[in-house]
Amino acid sequence: MTQLINTFRVTSAYKLQHENSLYSANKIQYARFDHFLDLYEALILTMPYEQAEVPYFSEISRDLFFKLTIADDDLMEVPMLQMIYITRTQLMKLICKSASFQALQKKVQFDEKQAFIFSIFLLSTLAQWHQTLHFDKVLLEDMSTIMYNNHFDLRPLFSEDFSMIEPYPKKIVDLQQKQANIYSLAVKSNRLAFEDAIQLAYNHMLIFTTIQQDFSVSMIGGELHDT
């Protein structure tokens, strides 16, 4: 199973696509996420996965950040991107509908630091959950090839100009739908495992922020002692 998942990994050179969130966010909100991405680069590099287990996982961390830091009245979905990124959209829906996420969202909502760290740890625990699922080898290889050849950004594949050259959109829509169905069935058959992954991410976030706070206090105390 691990070997199959490895075929679907992206390289550490993967970069988040510009303005590619499932939610409508302004430049300042995108910049805030990028700020935390740089600030906690060391934390991200310690995660037990490469830059992401699958291409859309890194994008999900940003979707989660916006979901947690933008008020519901101001949070608008982007229908076109939801239509393009079927798998990511389905996984986000499963996360947001989960009892664990809805409860934890209230605890970290509007706290940008905690929201970012929670989203990063959730990326890690969901990657581990993802490894327990059963994917058809051909499905993984086909999706991996399409993603790699198109630099992980699917938007150009759905442009009118590109559709006249390659019939990729229909194929990748079908592949994404198959994977989205696997996620839905996995959560339905073992909801506890999915809920546990979300709760575990929150627990990791609490531990990390506590250690970070204690370290900051000790550093301040040391400076005062030296003076």
DSSP readout, 70-91?
A: S-TTT-EE-HHHHHH-HHHHHH
Q: What is the pLDDT of residue 193?
A: 95
Nearby residues of 184 by Cβ (< 8 Å), 6 or more positions away = 90, 94
Give pLDDT, residue 43: 83
The predicted structure's pLDDT at residue 97? 96
Which residues, given as ranges, of the chain have pLDDT below 70?
A: 1-15, 48-57, 140, 143-152, 160-168, 214-227
* Number of domains within the chain: 1
Q: Are 96 and 41 in contact (CB under 8 A)?
A: no
**Do residues 172 and 146 touch, judged by C-beta distance below 8 A?**
yes
| Predicted local distance difference test score (pLDDT) of residue 131 | 80
The structure tokens listed for 191 are 């909801």
pLDDT at 56: 64
pTM over the 0.75 mark: yes
Predicted pLDDT of residue 189: 94
Element housing 142 (H / E): helix 137-149
Residue 7: HSE in the Cβ half-sphere, 13 Å Cα cutoff:
15
Domain range for residue 207?
2-226
